Structure formats: structure tokens, C-alpha cells
Amino acid sequence: MEQRLKNKVAIVTGGGAGIGEAICKKFALNGAKVVVCGFPDDPVEAVAQEIAAKGGTAIAYKGDISMAEHARMCVETAIETWGKLDILINNAGVFPVMETIDSYPTEAFQYLVKNNIQSTFMMTKFAIPHLQKTKGNIVSAGSESGLLGIAENAPYGGTKGFIHAFIKGVAVEQAQYGVRANVVCPGAIDTAWTHKETGPMSTKTEKMVVEATPMGRRGTPEEVANVYLFLASDEASYVTGSLYSVDGGVTINKGATGSMADDSMKSEPAGELNLKHSMEGDTAKNRFANTYGYTPSSENNSNAITEALHANGGQLKNSVSKALVGLSAGLAVAGMVWNLTRKGRSNEEEFGHVDEDVASSSGQSGQENKSAAPSNASSGWEKKMDENPANNPANNSLNNSGGSKGGSGFTNEGATGNAD
């Protein structure tokens, strides 16, 4: 069989489960050397070992790539191991909760921005210089929700809309250097995210996503990986800045037409990959439950996280109280600074100069309070994974602050990245 990515080096973020696993194995099957990137509790090493067992070449990298240092280290891992980088697959992402916007947890929104947007930006930033050398390409995970929007998960669709526009911009600016950039936009795919038992969807939502798909079923991770393979290969040499929908027709559909699909369309193709981790990864019912100590309801998962936040309201209340105290202190000092400034201006008008000592000391006090307040406000889902190791004297070693090739990875708490 012809290997469409022979001798190519690829990084696949969110490579330990779901669509990411399928991309890693599809690329390796087609001759690529693959960096399987994910968080420490993702099965990235298992995927790399499974690839090796089939005669492919892969290594595992563990780290929080939403942080600049970790993203840089991931790219350097590929360069140090194989001397180049040809392909970057920005597949990492999260799908934490389904709620209407009035009930959507602020922490969940911040979590989405961190893991869907920052990770894509950071990896692209550090990969581009190396992709320019190889005339390589980027394929990022968009979504049908980034094209249409998505009810009860509006922020998620917003993060995917950012990725669509971001990659189009990258495609234009990097064409002069020979780098292509495209987006794959999956619909409902048969992973943990779209099952009520393992993800944030309710029974009603799970049924609805299938009925709204003209082909009458979820897609398979391998069906999505096939499109990634095409876009990453030289066969797509004239394709850049494009959004490829892999959604069973949901973006062109009007109404519940899934039941009308021909039986041949409703059956998932067998595929050629042995996928073992499609139902693993970042879901509301395993990693979030373990990390944040809540128990989602068995039936209505759409309200699970909000219920959990209410159940654990003590911690959230304390965090909010601290933030309000810090804000109040900041406002009080700001008022003092304003009064002193006004007094200084009055003195200047009356005596022709400003008391520089008073202005300097009051400005410094205001700045100290301005910077101190946010430090008390950070809470919830960010936890330790949002800490910048470079700013923490306790984290001076690689094992504590960064990622690692294989091994146990960094020690920060976090959740994985897997695209739709």
C-alpha cells in the first residue's frame, strides 16, 4: 500500500483518545513519524505503543500545551528526535458542559478558552518556524458548531469559530513561506463526548444530534482521520485556508431527517484502524468528576456541572468572597489615590507644583492592590494547571514545570485535549 506521509514528521495534539487516536494511527499507517501529545492522564503512551506494535513509529509527549513553555517543548521533542517537523495537527480541545448561556459556568468558559484557543495558538506559534523550513502544513480541529453555533454550548461554538478565522489568517500570511493551513469541521462523532453515559449530553440532546444528521448516525473517528490524512498529504497541495465539513450533512440540513437516511448510510464503515480509546478523554463524567469532586446526575448530564458547582458551593463561595474582598480593597485604595491626585492638582494650581512623593507613593499602593486582587480571584477549574511554572520558584525542574517525552510528565493538574 502506498504510504501518503512517508518520512513525514507529525505532531498530533489531543492524540490519546477519540479523533486524536485515529489521526495518530492513520498517519503512522501511512508512513509518518508521530508525536502523540496529551496530558499525563491521557493514554498517549498506550497509543504510541500500539502504533509501534503495528510497525509504526511514534513517541508520547505529555504536557499542558496551552502554556507557552510546554508547547515549545512539544515542538522541540519532534525536532530533537527526528530533526524536522512537517505536519502540525491542532486536535486538542475540550467539551466540558452543556448549559444555556445564563447558567453557563464562568469557569467552564475560561476552561474552553484555555484548552481550545490558547493551545492552538501556542502550538502554531512555535511550530511555524520549523514548518517554514520543510514547507509543511497545519490542520486544526474546527467544528460544525463553529459554522452554525450550538445551543446549550454557545461558548464552545465560539471557540471553534475563532479557530476557523485564526487558521484562515495563518493560511494567508504563511503562503509566502510555503506553509499551508486548513481546518476540519466534524459533526457529531462516535466518541465519549456524544454519549450521555460518558459526556455532557442529555438523553434528549444525544437523540437530537443523530436525528438532525441526514446520514442518520454519528461519524466514526476514522472517517474524520481520513480527511486529516488528505489535507496533511501532498495530494492537497493546492488546498489552503479551507474548512472541510465532516458532519454527515448536518450543516446543510433543516429538520430531523436522520430517520429518513438509507440503511447503507446509517451503518458505520468498518475501517482499517484498531481504535481502543474512542470513549476516553476529556468528558464531564470522568476526569472532571475526579478533578473537581462532583458527581454528575445519571440522566440529565446537561445540568451536571452546574449542579456540582452548587453542591460544592462552599469552595466557590469562598473564592468569590475573596475576590470581592480584594476588589473592595482595590476600590478603596483607588478612591484614596483619586483624592490624593485631586489634592495634588489643587496644590499645583495653587502653588505651581505637585507633591511628587505623595503622587508616587499613592500610585504604587494602587498598583499593588490592582495586581493583588486577581490573585485571590483565581479558582474553580483552572487550579494548578493554569499556573505558569516559570513564575513559581518551586517549579524549577522539567518534571515539575514542563512536559516530557513519555514518562510521568508534568505534575500540574489538568484535563485532556480531544477534538469534537
pLDDT band at 299 (very low <50, low <70, confident <90, very high): very low
Q: Sign of dihedral through CA atoms 191, 194, 195, 197? A: positive
Q: pTM score > 0.85 for this model?
A: no
Asked whether the predicted pLDDT for residue 55 surpasses 90, the reply is yes
Give the span between the Cα atoms of 232 and 8, in whole angstroms. Answer: 10
User: Mean pLDDT across the stretch 240-250?
Assistant: 93
Helix (H) or strand (E) holding 11: strand 9-13
Answer yes or no: are the C-beta atoms of 34 and 298 closer than 8 Å.
no
Average pLDDT over residues 109-115: 94
Which residue from 260, 227, 232 is spatially nearest to 246, judged by alpha carbons?
227
Active-site annotation holder among 61, 104, 111, 156: 156
Residue 269, all three cell numbers: 464503515
Instruction: Say what the pLDDT of residue 332 is.
Output: 56
CA distance 160 to 178: 25
H or E segment to which residue 37 belongs: strand 33-38
Comparing 22-31, 36-45, 136-145, 186-195, which segment has the lowest mean pLDDT?
186-195
Distance CA 187, CA 214 (A): 11
Residue 361 has pLDDT above 70, yes or no: no
> 168 is written with which cell numbers?
484562515
Letter for the amino acid at 182? N
For the residues 235-243, what does the mean pLDDT come to? Answer: 98
348 C-beta neighbours (distance < 10 Å), count: 12
One-letter amino acid for residue 11 of the chain: I
Residue 248 region, left (φ>0) first, then alpha (ψ -120 to 50), else beta?
A: left
DSSP state of 33: E
Residue 123 · residue 73 · CB < 8 Å: no
Residue 69: predicted pLDDT: 97
Ramachandran angles phi, psi of 404, nearest 5°? -155, 155
**Looking at this protein, which amino acid is placed at residue 3?**
Q
Domain 9-311 has CATH 3.40.50.720: yes
Q: Which residue has the higher pLDDT, 33 or 405?
A: 33
Residue 216, φ and ψ in degrees, nearest 5:
70, 25
Residue 230's pLDDT band, with cuts at 50, 70 and 90, is very high
Predicted confidence at residue 331, as pLDDT, reads 56
Residue 134: CB atoms within 10 Å: 15
Residue 185 dihedral angles phi and psi, to the nearest 5°: -115, 90
Q: How far, in Å, are 8, 9, 25, 49, 70 from residue 35 at the CA level?
A: 11, 8, 11, 12, 14
**Confidence band of 189 (pLDDT split at 50, 70, 90):** confident
pLDDT band, very low/low/confident/very high, at 197 (cuts 50, 70, 90): low
pLDDT of residue 200: 64
Q: Is the pLDDT of residue 274 over 90?
A: no
Determine phi and psi for 60, rounding to 5 degrees.
Answer: -100, 140
Distance from C-alpha of 142 to C-alpha of 159, rounded to nearest angstrom? 9
Least confident interval from 46-55, 272-281, 282-291, 390-399: 390-399
- Which cell numbers in the block locate residue 229? 490524512
Helix (H) or strand (E) holding 34: strand 33-38
pLDDT at 79 (0 to 100):
98
Q: Buried (b) or exposed (e) across 257-276, using 16+ Cβ within 10 A?
A: bbeebeeeeeeeeeeebebe
Single-letter residue type at 8: K
Indicate if the pLDDT at residue 254 is higher than 80: no
**Interatomic CA distance for residues 86 and 68, integer angstroms:** 20
pLDDT at 400: 33
Measured distance CA(38)–CA(42) in Å, rounded: 6
378 pLDDT higher than 50: no
What pLDDT is recorded for position 328? 53
Q: Which residue has the higher pLDDT, 296 or 268?
A: 268
What phi and psi values does residue 207 have, to the nearest 5 degrees? -65, -40
pLDDT, residue 74, reads: 98
Task: Tell me: pLDDT of 401 over 50.
Answer: no
For 203, other C-beta atoms within 10 Å of its C-beta total 12
Residue-by-residue DSSP string for 355-399: -HHHHHHHHHHHHHHHHHHHHHH--TT-GGGGS-GGG-TT--SHH
Q: Scanning the structure block, which residue is given the C-alpha cell 493560511?
A: 171
| pLDDT tier at 334, thresholds 50, 70, 90 | low
Mean pLDDT within 135-146: 96
Report the percentage of the chain scoring pLDDT > 90. 45
pLDDT tier at 109, thresholds 50, 70, 90: very high
CB 201 within 8 A of CB 302: yes
Domain borders along the chain are 9-311, 313-380
Q: Write down the pLDDT at residue 210.
A: 78
Q: How far apart are CA 71 and CA 120, in angstroms?
A: 9
* Across 52-61, 150-159, 203-212, least confident range: 203-212
156 counts as catalytic: yes
For residue 243, give the H/E element and its range: strand 243-246
Helices (H), 135-257: 144-148, 154-174, 203-211, 221-232
